[in-house]
A and B are shown apart, each in its own frame.
Chain A
Amino acid sequence: MISCILKTQSKILYTFLLALVVSFGAFAQEASEQAEIAQKGVTPGATEGAEVSTGDPAVISAGEALFKNNCAVCHSAGGDVIVGPGLQGVTDKRSESWLISWIKNSQALIQSGDADAVAVYNEYNKQAMPSFAFSDDEVKSILAYIESGQGVVSAPSEGVPGATAGENVGTDAIGAVGGYLDIVLVVLIIVLIVLVVTLLLIASLMKNYLNQNRKLNEYDAEIVNQRFDFSKIYKSKAVRTLVVLIFVVVLLDLTIDKVMGVGIQQGYAPKQPIAFSHKLHAGEHQINCNYCHTTVYESKSASIPSANICMNCHSQIKTESAEIQKIYRAIERNEPIQWVRIHNLPDLAYFNHSQHTQVGGVECQTCHGPIEEMDVVYQYSPLTMGWCIDCHRETPLNTEGNGYYDNLVELHEASSKGAFTVSSNGGTECSKCHY
């Protein structure tokens, strides 16, 4: 009788445990999916700021390009100070003609004794703003861009060029879900331990009680004082085979995993000779990638910026910093800076940046990850052939407006219903990358 009770009890216990594990697993999965979605959302590939249209959009976009390439290094389009003042609302404070003459040659304006000019100059530590050889129309387009408010980012710390504020919720969500999960896990474990301990206690109490207070017949005593014979399991052929099998499978799996991972440097984040922060430059200051990686739209390599590009700004900015002193030293000694290469493709694979950026319209972050959040750059993608091929199979070609593809798109649509992907244009053939 009692044995029956005991049995049922343990059954309930097992069922309970099983249910718990399953539901927990499912929950964890859901949470990680959420996190994944949030993470993907961050890749600002396809995002552009919402268009707040005041004025001609063409003029504004021209102004945007000029702003990002020339002004964004020192000014934000919002209210915060980078080196010079934030430019939000500058058109209300100053007249257009004043701004034009200031941008074209601020020193001349200061020397002419313009009160506003002198005040601004003194306010920002007498840091001279370089002169720009813009036409009046170009200056006006920049002003139109500033006025449109497109460049304004809600919080300066989140920051991809063009990323909208909403996306950052994703990042927060990961944190929130992560914290919540941790608590649930801890509580669960504690509850489980308490449960197990309690059950064991009850079992032992009952056993003692039965042994001492009840006279048990032989059959019942055997059940109550059951001793588990481990040697039986140990000696069982089936179990042995199973254990060996599992061992071999695990070993094989581990080996294959390891071997396949040889040469894959995903997550590789070496220490660089100069602690350059992409988070600061690309994130906070929103300097366009192309400003430093000058050949990314033209060449197979994006090119590591030469020291003279650094000096465009750092001849003026943060000249006291120990890290920037390293650039000066390199220039003085005429020794180039030896950066550690992070993305290493084998020699047998040919990769061309311009094919992807200029022709394919792929954003930098698609492969390089949230570079604008990296203080230390790490390799975001595995850079394996499988990874390349997957993308080539799934990505539709950026054929719009490209005369090269005109006829091909028609031919493809006539013969197939699927998307015209890189692969359907021969993009997974060997000699596209290996020669």
Chain B
Amino acid sequence: MQDRIKYWKGIEELENAPEFEKHAHNEFPEFLPVNELEGGESSNGKTRRRDFLKLLGFSMAAVSLASCEAPVRKAIPYLNKPVDVEPGVANWYASTFYLNGDYNSILVKTREGRPIKIEPNPSSGLTPLGTSPKAQGSLMGLYDNNRLRFPLIAGKEAKWEDVDKQIKSRLANVSGKVAFVSSTIISPSTKRLIDEFGSRFGNFEHVTYDANSASALLQANGGVIPGYDFSKANIIVGINADFLGTWVAPVPFAKQYIQTRKVDADNPSMSRHYQFETMLSLTGSNADVRVPIKPSEEAAFVTALHNAVTGQGASSGSAADAKVMAAVVKDLQANRGKALVVCGSNDPGIQAMVKAINTALGAEGTTIDTAAPYFVKQGNDAAMIRLIEEMNAGSVGAVFFFNANPAYNHPLAARVVSGLKKVGLKVSFADRVEETAKFADFVTPDHHYLESWNDFEPKRGYISLSQPVISPIFTTRQMQDSLLVWSDQQTNFYEYMRNNWRSVASGDFNKFWEKAVHDGVLENGTSMLQVSTSTATASTSVRKIQPAGVEAVLYEKVSIGTGEMINNPWLQELPDPVSKATWGNYVAVPRLMAEEMQVVQGDVLKVTFANNESIELPALIQPGQANGTVAIAMGYGRDLEAMPVANGLGANAYPIATVADNAVLYTSGVKLEKTNATSPIAQTQTHHTIMDRIVVQENTLAKYKENPKEVTKYIRLATHEGPAKPATISLWDDYEYKNHHWGMVIDLNSCIGCGSCTMSCNVENNIPVVGKAEVLNRREMHWMRIDRYYSAKEHEEKDYAEMEHPADNPSVIFQPMLCQHCNHAPCETVCPVAATMHSSEGINQMVYNRCVGTRYCANNCPYKVRRFNWFAYANNDKFGFNETMNNDLGKMVLNPDVTVRTRGVMEKCSFCVQRVQLGKLEAKRENRRPQDGDIVTACAQSCPTEAIVFGDMKNPESRISKILARQQGERAFHVLEELNTQPNVTYLTKIRNLA
């Protein structure tokens, strides 16, 4: 008998835990939780008679009052209308988002002068397709009510003139070293400006450090990050490098990576991806072969690989399975010049060996573009550690912090704090009073990036610009302008940057400049950024990580990163791609360890670090986590007034990172103790359970090559005329589509699960953030979710002995799930008030103003994609963290073309009908049919791997029609086809290139 693949969404489903059972059967609560938020006695969900009468009386009174007189509403036009702004028409500006390596060339959509959406910039060569979820969410940072509105002197509100006067006079008398501490700066003009600013001082140093450092990688590669090109690699080996999620430049990497993984029957070839890692990362989830290894085994593994590939030394002693190792080595050697090994370790010795492996494989010049390295990480651990010691020694006279928060995110945070007390002048450019700014004499808040001019060079020869898309909301000032003022220059940064650009301009400068600002990118091969390169080669001697009882790793979450945007409610509620947890961090423990410790999900563990500090966090049982290890995300544990959204969430796990030999290691041994407390983790993974039906399909490349028609299982109904397609047997008449027939194809092979689509959908469609408590109640509102299924082969009982527990190293498959816009929609037939209906263009319409909230439609939806507004999330103090709807500044981000839904109505994916309507209108105004690609949904537009294709299935020339024609009967399938819902969303079977 063939092994069957069993899919499950979480340990609780795999083991059928009672909690899971309860929720699965109680998916649709009977009662309306009217008083739930008050937490009073009536929180059992029953409304008492008196309360009911009170409510009834009140609503009667309210209705009659409301009907008396309509409120007078004002129409306030501009006093002097700007030429470019037409009310009701969106303007688009090219700009750039860059944060700690996450680089995106973007277009910013503005309405009436306020930015409301971020989209990828198709002119960019690096990131023409999608964005990262962080880039999408960064919009909220602009409208964050907790940003500083003015500069501070010693924590008190001050005027810019006073700040400038005092800083200038104190800089004139500064004694000792002047240090400028920043995270990586990829702006050529800013770098030049900082150098010029420092040249006035006798002793100046610009120290760059990254909260999640790539120092060792830089050291091994002469100060730059090698120009990896995953699109040229047949064999990819990743070692603790989450290059699709957080490592170096995830968005460009994802675009390259996926190019080799799109398959059809004419071109059935794809790269093979091996991943060796401790925790199950987004990248590991996409790997064809994944092997869990402990941090202490990493060095031995890399050494073994190095020796096997280069043929030097003994190739034994690797922790990894000898069979897998042999397969990796065989594949690498067979693909010289078409193989790439990347490693996320911060040990220079390991990185030197990885470089040697790549050299031996002939990767340089092929899968590594030596002419165009990346600049997105430049942090130098040693320099920062030296500066901290100098501060403590009292030899630093002045220090500036720009996008740097070492008092929080440096392993020597305590030394930073003690050192800061000995520095004469401390200036922070932070946008709020965070951990480091607390100790600053002056806080001179920088603009948000959407309010600033800047330039960027993430990769040699790829330059981009950012331009202000809104005038500054608060009286902040761009850091660069502050430096110019303090160095008594009469110019502003805009002029400074323009002057700097004259060196690369050709022809008339104004024309050149206008084109560059318009396009947002300059990619003619010119390079402006000067980075400090060193020619010293690192030795391949490896630092030994001592195996510990429990080895902990510190990692970046895809949505939260190193914690700069922690106060962003959108990003907080975006489920982690793998664990599907929202709102907070946790200790990811492997199943075996949990069993040994008798820990169940949600039990609070006390984690004691090497420095004897300890934190308490709930445990999350993470399938695929290497045994004997735990993983905790960075960025959490903030307790600041200026971060109300993040306050009280999780704990600070930075103490895991340790300093050894002037380098930061993001792993160390910890002690775990069970406490008696429990703390639930708001995970969305099992919220919409599939009850063992077939919803995802996958197969192997070998099978696909053999016969592409057999990789997908199609369900056929038995009739007296033999097996028939479910769609051929129907009660209803089919719709006739004359004009358009909108549809979507989602390629499960291309989806890496990053969550950009979810984020983009949230921003586009005014989807409320409901908070941790409501997520725990399974009431998150995301229209688009990414279902992550773990899977393992089910063995027959007789090979029980060889059977590996399915949760130890499962395969992972991601499936974006949204309203399927069924042609025979089960929801449409049960609505008593016809609030959900089918359009003549194939869209399943949801009419909020008609909905009375019976929730029959949600009960009848087999895809579980309908979301009910249990509460009013707008203008409701209890949901204050839902900043987009609860304060005047936050509301500026709302899309004015989409209704903000009220309490008691159902909502769901609309196929971005506002975009469909606008696209059609634009075509009509220009007397033409809409072109394929004119109308794109938000999810499809922001997908970095083009996994989602949206279009008109009536147009035979459209991409979607061509894909469907190509894949019909091969990889194309409808989810739950047997129900004959005839969805307009089609999925393509995932193909794995197993070794």
Contacts and interface: CB of A to CB of B under 8 A. Distances in A.
Contact of A426 (B73, B74, B739, B925): B739
Interface string B888-918: 0000000001111000000000100110010
A58 to B, nearest CB: 19
A404 B848 CA distance: 30
B78 A336 contact: yes
Contact of A263 (B70, B81, B837, B897): B70
B166 to A, nearest CB: 32
Nearest to A299: B88
B77 A306 contact: yes
Interface string B908-945: 00100110010011011101111000000000000000
A426 B839 contact: yes
A347 to B, nearest CB: 6
Contacts of A306: 77-81
Contact of A301 (B87, B738, B848, B924): B87
A265 B67 CA distance: 12
In this complex, the interface size class of chain A, counting residues with CB under 8 Å from chain B, is 35 or more
A254 interface: no
A408 B739 CA distance: 7
Contact of B77 (A303, A352, A434): A303
Contacts of B920: 404
B492 to A, nearest CB: 24
A404 B73 CA distance: 37
Nearest to A347: B899
Contacts of A130: none
Interface in B821-845: 837, 839-841, 843, 845
A293 to B, nearest CB: 10
A206 to B, nearest CB: 57
Given A347-B900, A435-B910, A335 B89 contact: no
B76 interface: yes
Contact of A430 (B73, B79, B739, B847): B847
Contacts of B925: 354, 358-359
Given A359-B925, A431-B847, A434-B847, A304 B67 contact: no
A299 B86 contact: yes
A108 to B, nearest CB: 28
A301 B898 CA distance: 15
Interface in B797-821: none
Contact of B839 (A339, A353, A431): A431
Contacts of A341: 72-75
B849 interface: yes
Nearest to A334: B79
B850 interface: yes
A308 B930 CA distance: 36
B89 A331 contact: no
A307 interface: yes
Contacts of A348: 848-849, 899
A135 interface: no
A400 B834 CA distance: 34
B77 A304 contact: yes
B79 A435 contact: no
Contacts of B917: 350, 431-432, 435
A334 B80 CA distance: 9
Contact of A429 (B86, B839, B927): B839
B77 A435 contact: no
Nearest to A265: B70
Contacts of B850: 430
B72 A402 contact: no
A340 interface: yes
Contacts of B738: 408, 411-412
A341 B70 CA distance: 12
B928 A430 contact: no
Given A304-B77, A307-B79, A308-B79, A294 B913 contact: no
Contact of B80 (A308, A358, A359, A425): A308
Contact of A339 (B77, B86, B88): B77
A403 B72 CA distance: 43
A135 B420 CA distance: 70
Given A301-B88, A304-B75, A341-B73, A431 B924 contact: no
Contact of B841 (A307, A355, A404, A426): A426
Contacts of B927: 401-404
B743 to A, nearest CB: 16
A133 interface: no
Nearest to B838: A429
Contacts of A298: 86, 89
A299 B89 contact: yes
B87 A303 contact: yes
A355 B74 contact: no
A199 interface: no
B913 A431 contact: yes
A305 B81 CA distance: 9
Interface string A395-435: 00000011110001001100000000000011001111011
Interface in B22-80: 66-67, 70, 72-80
Given A308-B80, A347-B899, A359 B924 contact: yes
B65 to A, nearest CB: 11
B89 A295 contact: yes
Given A262-B67, A359-B921, A435-B914, A337 B76 contact: yes
Contacts of A337: 76-77, 79
A184 interface: no
A372 to B, nearest CB: 20
A353 B843 CA distance: 24
Given A308-B79, A434-B847, A425 B897 contact: no
User: Which has the most chain B C-beta neighbours within 10 Å: A263, A335, A359?
Assistant: A359
B829 to A, nearest CB: 16
A18 interface: no
A421 to B, nearest CB: 13
B70 A344 contact: yes
A435 B899 contact: yes
Nearest to A432: B917
Given A308-B79, A403-B929, A430 B845 contact: yes
B538 to A, nearest CB: 57
Interface string A327-365: 000110011111111001011101011110011000000
A435 B846 CA distance: 8
Nearest to A268: B70
B899 A430 contact: no
B739 A295 contact: no
A340 B80 contact: no
A270 interface: yes
A300 interface: yes
Interface string A278-301: 000000000000000011001111
Given A303-B77, A306-B78, A404 B929 contact: yes
Contacts of A305: 77
B79 A429 contact: no
A331 B81 CA distance: 12
A262, A294, A330, A411 interface centre (most CB from chain B within 10 Å): A262
Q: Which of B77, B837, B848 has the most CB of A within 10 A?
A: B77
Given A358-B925, A425-B739, 5 more contacts: A304-B75, A305-B77, A306-B80, A341-B74, A425-B840
14 contacts: A295-B86, A304-B76, A305-B77, A308-B81, A338-B75, A339-B74, A339-B76, A348-B849, A348-B899, A350-B914, A426-B841, A431-B917, A434-B848, A435-B899
Task: List the 10 closest A-B pairs by CB distance, nearest first.
Answer: A299-B88, A431-B845, A306-B81, A426-B840, A306-B78, A304-B77, A341-B75, A300-B88, A301-B88, A341-B73
Interface of B: 66-67, 70, 72-81, 86-89, 738-739, 837, 839-841, 843, 845-850, 897-900, 910, 913-914, 917, 920-921, 923-925, 927-930
Interface of A: 258-259, 262-263, 265, 270, 294-295, 298-301, 303-309, 330-331, 334-341, 344, 346-348, 350, 352-355, 358-359, 401-404, 408, 411-412, 425-426, 429-432, 434-435
